[in-house]
Amino acid sequence: MMLDDFMTRAALGGIGTALAAAPLGCFVVWRRMAYFGDATAHAAILGVALSLALAMPIFAGALVIALVMATSVTLLSGRGYAMDTLLGVMAHSALAFGLVAVSFLEGIQLDLMAYLFGDILSVSRGDLGVIWSGAALVVGLVAWRWSALLTATLNPDLARAAGIDPRREELVLTLALAVVVAVAIKVVGVLLITAMLIIPAATARPFARTPEAMAVIAAGIGMAAAWGGLLVSYRLDTPTGPTIVAVVASLFALATLGGRLLRAS
């Protein structure tokens, strides 16, 4: 059957991850939340250690820890520390504690590089179910709250006047971000998740006239990068997760250069 082909499963996993990350990545770019995404993603390695220690699915542990981290950052913001300082401390501390926790796991075969940089070629049917379920949840959640999220992002005061609680919408983004992190671990790993959130959205920005168009274009760019990175990795025998990110970074560079040339002409 088609899903017995590991390349097909890898491609479907990458496309599902791109679909989950694209609309959320637009809000990360608009809100300048890149470091927030890093902090949540880095914390996921602690979730991996928790999952292995308790013999539970990796997705579950990563999701729980990502939620805890994202919610903690949201609640602690504005409590006496600059946001970039708080995120820097929590991001690197979470990654360090996660790596230390992993070192205490005895009798468990663990490929740490696979969790740090992804192992898309080993995506199973069960992983595909998790990835696409997570993508459907994120896309559905963002679509449901799209208008409120957009209003809260553009003007919190206007959102309050319209009866929208900006804090609540921030928590919605927090939940969606935690799901994306848990879904993307298998594909690009905890160190590269933020790249798949930010770069497709940043690449789409110059070509989009509306926020909705930016989300759709970002999804297309992310899916193209996942497919193209998989093919390049297969041809050149390079690590697949980093290759996917390298491809989308190249698309960003081309889009930026092309935009400047058009403006200059």
What is the predicted pLDDT for the residue at 34?
Answer: 74
What is the predicted pLDDT for the residue at 225?
Answer: 93
What is the predicted pLDDT for the residue at 79?
Answer: 61
Burial 236-265 (b: 16+ CB within 10 A, else e): eeebbbbbbbbbbebbbeebeeeeeeeeee
Structural domains of the chain in order of their starting residue, each with its CATH number: 2-191 (1.10.3470.10)
Digits of tens for pLDDT over the chain (265 positions)? 455 587 888 889 889 999 889 888 999 888 887 777 777 788 888 888 888 778 788 788 888 888 887 777 767 765 656 666 777 787 788 888 888 887 777 666 666 777 777 888 888 888 888 889 988 999 999 989 899 999 988 888 888 888 888 888 888 888 888 888 888 888 888 778 888 889 999 999 888 889 999 999 999 999 999 999 999 998 998 988 889 999 999 999 998 887 777 676 6
What would the two tokens of residue 37 be?
A: 């995404």
Q: How many CB atoms lie within 10 A of CB 29?
A: 20
* 178: enclosing H helix or E strand: helix 166-188
What is the predicted pLDDT for the residue at 1?
Answer: 45
Q: Supply the pTM of this predicted model.
A: 0.85
Round to whole Å and give the CA distance between 60 and 24. 20
Would you call 186 exposed, middle or buried from its count of C-beta atoms within 10 A (0-12, 13-18, 19+)? buried
